[in-house]
Amino acid sequence: MKNVTKCFAIALITLIPTLSFATLRPFTSKDCAALAMPKTVLLVHASWCSHCKAFLPVYKQVSDKEKYRDWIFYQMANDKFENVCGTAIRGVPVTFKNNMKNNLMGNRPQSALEEFLDSNT
Please name each of the domains of the chain with its CATH number. 21-118 (3.40.30.10)
Encode pLDDT of 28-58 as tens digits. 999 999 999 999 999 999 999 999 999 999 9
CA 59 to chain centre: 4
Q: Which of 1-10, 48-57, 84-93, 99-108 has the lowest mean pLDDT?
A: 1-10
CA atoms within a 13 Å half-sphere pointing along the CA-CB vector of 14: 6
